[in-house]
Structure 1
């Protein structure tokens, strides 16, 4: 911290929101133009966007958000599945279904054998990438998490396997994070929930009540050599404009401290009901409307134009379809967040942290994406080739991610179509591959991808450029 203070200054954020509350259209267009050049915005600029009132200007913001995503990431959409490993928690956060005082939730921590069955069930769907989630509890310490990562990577079914495991877990020490680094952790995800100090203090009890320990969790990860980190806020706990500003300040401080390496992804979940948790019904003041949610996603896209953005199945299908064109890069499908529920094929609200609103299967999700001209990517080659941290930020900030990743997206998409897709999805998917091959403008690269596609058809897997 600096002078005993962290990098979130509540008064400063409110002052910037106040000063920029009536921006001129010409200024907004200048800010949009800056974002289109893939330059991160400053707090005053984001504050101005948050106060746009003219609907025509909002349409320009929405269009710019889509253009930025296409410029950096192309037509790719990365898909993943959340896998909840344990719902034991020592904290007592008002809004969370896993809080220690909730006697309505069924507590469960997976054994290694149960974990293998969960992973097998996900692999059989076609998943290659997971976000594994753990409550804050001695039963889910770093050694346990490391063991679950090892088991997950080792579990295979036929051609299928998990190639990338990201982790959503409690803040850890540098030493614990070094252990996870060595075992092969993917992106480390810690959400601040709310950046507003007073609200954070009011809602959190237990270890999680330490605002700064959580706020600097990803700084410690960077120090430990875990250079792929992810931030997020739970929208609905406090004013949504303040939280967008908090996310920007978080990105700025990470870049300031770690040679330009900010968050790999930003998440923006909305508060949802949970079993035995009346907080949602009482929290009407700060719940975010669909209209404001769409706006805040677009503003985040413009504010940090090169960062990945995750839109989860908390949102209903119709909202995800509206928000997707505004810069989203990652979606989950086939989601079941009850601990131990994938292998049983059951939805048990009493095992869930919150309620899921988009229950489409992975196959249904991929078919929908393909019908909109978007190719689903299962690619993890970038991570295994060392394209993380500084390397990833360099190619993201120069808009080159899709040049490297689109060929590999085609190859992993082909794997899915051959091994898991329904006939309907395979048909639309094969047509999409033809179009994407034609779009590769480098003849030699197209030749390599076509050769690899033939090898995949002949039974080879995990080929990447």
Structure 2
């Protein structure tokens, strides 16, 4: 069976770089007139030739967002249930070598945290753990999901890579979506960034969304951690990955996240910091290429940036965020996975969206099947 890795191999770095370098103004303008874009068009919109046409890209992205999403923006929040991790990712605050006060919530503690979140009115929640299977096992994650599922319309996971059988197990426990950041699609850089730990397996992580789709997840989320590799390389690979999944699993919703690397516990110099202008170019190019796919912008970005990205394609934002384990209903002084920039509450986010003419949506899905 063909995998995304096979498709990505047809787009080696040299080919991507050459197409982007040779892109012309005429190609950019032609891409903006098309109803359906091919990967080549997406690459053109990411190229330096597209930069002078950012305003036109923004207009096109805005029109497409209104067509397919209206003025609705979905709100969600993460729930970190454990920060124990066996990986040594150079860019992550949960790095096993970082001397942190670690914490793992019991199922009762996770429920207490979830009840506080539910009291905010949020109906979409994302469970997060570090990569430590002996502590945060699939069985533990399933137990938490079963316990909190009655409180929410949708429970998702952003955890370590699993097998198809394990994803199916989580689906039976009430989980309906998963997010998996590849971090970078550059295998050589990936190896250097992950010197030890189970996450070091590039291919197993790359193919995780496919296994999740086969396991029954209704929704997948993808993303590269922008700033690790050259902008065009990871930006294109992320969009290509979503495009391939949509064609391979037409019944599955495929969304994208757009995280830029943030400060965290430990030391890591960002090799390819992404400026605001290129960041906006990425969002508008994604919307033009994948007009029906949700785009998520997390609280890594400032309130100013998130407000301005909503009309350009962002359809999902977090609110009332904490990246530390516990702290809402249980005592805890843990360090978060990374520093957030936008600290707005659900009420503040709702008001901010209304002020620019958009409606905050707290619930846009109801799982008809009870958790097993």
Please state which band the TM-score falls in when normalised by the shorter chain.
over 0.9
What does residue range 49-448 of structure 1 map to in structure 2 within 5 Å? 49-53=45-49, 57-103=53-99, 105-137=100-132, 138-154=134-150, 161-204=151-194, 205-258=196-249, 260-261=250-251, 264-275=254-265, 277-279=266-268, 282-283=269-270, 285-343=271-329, 348=333, 350-381=334-365, 383-384=367-368
* Partners of 1:20 and 1:360 in 2: CA distance: 38
CA contact 1:52–1:58 (8 Å) conserved in 2: no
1:383 is displaced (CA, Å) by: 4.6
Unaligned runs of 5+ in 1: 155-160, 386-465
The alpha-carbon distance between structure 1 residues 290 and 201, as it changes in their structure 2 partners (threshold 3 A), is same
Q: Structure 1 stretches (4+) deviating beyond 6 angstroms?
A: none
CA contact 1:22–1:52 (8 Å) conserved in 2: no
1:272 is displaced (CA, Å) by: 0.6
* Partners of 2:231 and 2:193 in 1: CA distance: 16
Which structure would you say has the larger RCO, counting Cα contacts within 8 Å and 6 or more residues apart?
A: 2
RMSD: 2.2
Q: Which has the larger radius of gyration?
A: 1
Secondary structure (helix, strand or coil) at the match of 2:32 reads: helix
1:322 is displaced (CA, Å) by: 2.1
1:19 is displaced (CA, Å) by: 2.5
Which structure carries more strand by proportion?
Answer: 2
Range with greater deviation from structure 2 (308-317 or 44-53): 44-53
Unaligned runs of 5+ in 2: none
The alpha-carbon distance between structure 1 residues 113 and 328, as it changes in their structure 2 partners (threshold 3 A), is same
- Which digits, 9 at most, give the CA deviation of each residue in 1:160-196, with x for residues without a partner? x322111111111111111111112121111101001
* Partners of 1:2 and 1:185 in 2: CA distance: 26
Query: Number of aligned pairs?
Result: 367
The alpha-carbon distance between structure 1 residues 143 and 54, as it changes in their structure 2 partners (threshold 3 A), is closer
CA contact 1:112–1:151 (8 Å) conserved in 2: yes
Which structure carries more helix by proportion?
Answer: 1
TM-score, normalised to structure 1's length? 0.75
* Partners of 1:200 and 1:123 in 2: CA distance: 37
CA contact 2:149–2:174 (8 Å) conserved in 1: no
Indicate the residue corresponding to 1:18 in structure 2. 18
CA contact 1:8–1:195 (8 Å) conserved in 2: no
